Amino acid sequence: MKTFEKIKYDFNTAYSTEVESDGVFYRVTCNEFRSWGGKRRILNVSNKNNPMYEDYFGPVYYSGTNKIVPHDKITDKINYIDGHKIIKSLPRTRIERLAL
């Protein structure tokens, strides 16, 4: 039986996470945020009277893993192992159909 490692988050997942693409910030999921190699920011709302954006400089992980991307291999997009998206939850026959 396969076991899966729980994804680690180095930031508060309740906050709004955003990434920059082509000079514009977009709201993204926490999974996309932790794997994004470009500029990232979090809307910190710990002070409800004065919410503010904070740039995030934490580690970049390969998508779907807890493996940190080496600094020299980080791309300005979502980082995948070997450049390919990992789909762990689908059975192999479904993955093969997606490749067609």
From 20, 7, 8, select the one nearest 55 (Cα to Cα). Answer: 20
CA dist 90 and 94 (Å) reads 6
Domain extent at residue 57: 16-99
Identify whether 11 is part of a domain.
no
Identify whether 4 is part of a domain.
no
Q: How many Cβ atoms are within 10 Å of 66's Cβ, its own excluded?
A: 13
Digit-coded pLDDT (tens) for 14-55: 999 999 999 999 999 999 999 999 999 999 988 889 999 999
CA dist 62 and 19 (Å) reads 16
Torsion of CA 50, 53, 59, 65, to 10 degrees: 90
Identify whether 6 is part of a domain.
no
Identify whether 37 is part of a domain.
yes
Identify whether 9 is part of a domain.
no
Digit-coded pLDDT (tens) for 55-89: 999 999 999 899 999 999 999 999 998 766 655 54
Domain count, the chain: 1
Identify whether 1 is part of a domain.
no
